[in-house]
Amino acid sequence: MMMGSIASALAEAWETGQPVAPLSAEAALTSLDAAENVAGAVLEKLALAPCGIRVTEAGLVGAMLPGRIMAQGHPLPLAVLPHGRAAPALLVVLAEAIAESDTGLPVLAQLHPALDLSASRWRDGPANMFEAAADLAGLGQVVIGKGKAPSWPKSFALGAERAHRVNIAALFATAVRVAR
C-alpha cells in the first residue's frame, strides 16, 4: 500500500468509523517524515484546517482540529473513541500569532486544564509510533476545563498511579517549532 492509499484509508476511517486493517510489512511506514506526510494528506483529503497543534505525552506532534475540542460536561459516547486512552493535558491559547522569525516562546492568553481522549482509526490500534503519527497522532477529543490567566508552570505530573513529571516548556517549544 502506497502512502496515498494509506492516507485514503485513514481518511475513509475518519468519515465512516470503519477501521483500517493492519499494514503489511511491505506497506509499513518506516519514518516519522513519511507518517507526517500521510497525516497531512489525510487532512487534505478531509478538507480539514487545523486550529492548532497537539503534542502527545509520547512527543508526537499532530494537528488540533476545532471540532475535536469540547467543553467540560459535554456528553461523549465512548464508541467514538476506538482504542481510546485518556491523558491529562493543557490547552494553550496564544495572545498573538507565532512569528517565524521569533526564537522564544509566544505570549500566552489562557491556559485550560484538559483531558486528551485519544482514538485510533487502526483496527488493532497503531502498531508503532509511525502509524500513530499518520493517524493525526491519535486525535480523538480534547475536553477542556475553565481557562485561567497564564502563569507558566515549569512541569506537571501525568498519570494517576505512577505519575511522572513532564516538562511543559519543552513540549510547547516542540509545538511552536512545528508551527513555525
Q: What would the DSSP string read from start to end of 89-126?
A: EEEEEESSPPPTT--SPPPEEEEEEEEEEE--SBTT--
What pTM was estimated for this model as a whole? 0.79
Task: Kindly give the confidence (pLDDT) of every residue in the chain, 180 residues in length, as a single tens digit, with 9 standing for 90 and above.
Answer: 687 899 999 999 999 989 999 999 999 999 999 999 999 999 999 999 998 888 887 788 888 898 889 888 888 777 667 777 888 887 888 888 877 777 777 777 888 888 888 889 999 999 999 999 999 998 988 999 888 877 655 555 555 555 566 666 677 677 777 666
Q: 3-179: what fold?
A: Fumarylacetoacetate hydrolase; domain 2 (3.90.850)
Query: Residue 57, SS3?
Result: coil
23: which 3 cell numbers? 499494514
**Domain residue ranges in the chain:** 3-179
